[in-house]
Amino acid sequence: MQVLVSVIVIVSACSIARAQNYVIDQGTSDALTRYLHLNELPMVTAQFSTSPGGSKQLILTGFVATQFGRNDAERIAVGYLNDPSVNMVDQILLDPHVEDMRPPAGSAAAAPQSPNNPDQLWNKTMQGIYKNGGQTPASNGPMLP
């Protein structure tokens, strides 16, 4: 049993060390995040990074209302990068309340938002989730399922 625990700890430590070697490509991350926002995924962000050995990784985070939205985010990101060697890490959470925050069709609020201020859109969306019963980061327990 002790040997098994030791092996798990060593493997975990190696995985953490490997993950820390990735260098974030902020330009690609920002551009892909903007692209996702323009494709009706305003609460999804992308972080693209490369290891010194050339391995590429894409981490998608945020919220969508449905599994379709999650799959769509992956499809859009893969299409944008056009590189099958990228390791995709999908950390997008499903929250049906996200759909409730969409402005009604034809309203002035339905006009495309300026991609220049994603923080404002993110804050508004997060307030709506918390208002509709979402778990706040300050509450007990992690937000992840």
Report the pLDDT value the prediction gives residue 97, as an integer from 0 to 100. Answer: 84
Per-residue model confidence as pLDDT tens for the chain (145 residues) = 544 444 454 444 444 444 558 899 999 999 999 999 999 999 999 999 999 999 999 999 999 999 999 999 999 999 999 998 999 999 999 988 878 776 666 655 555 555 456 566 666 666 666 565 554 444 444 444 4
- Cα(106)–Cα(54) distance, rounded to whole angstroms? 46
We find that the CATH architecture of domain 22-131 is 2-Layer Sandwich (3.30)
Domain ranges of the chain: 22-131
Report the pLDDT value the prediction gives residue 132, as an integer from 0 to 100. Answer: 57
Closest CA to 77 of 62, 98, 96: 62
- Cα(50)–Cα(106) distance, rounded to whole angstroms? 42
- Cα(103)–Cα(81) distance, rounded to whole angstroms? 30
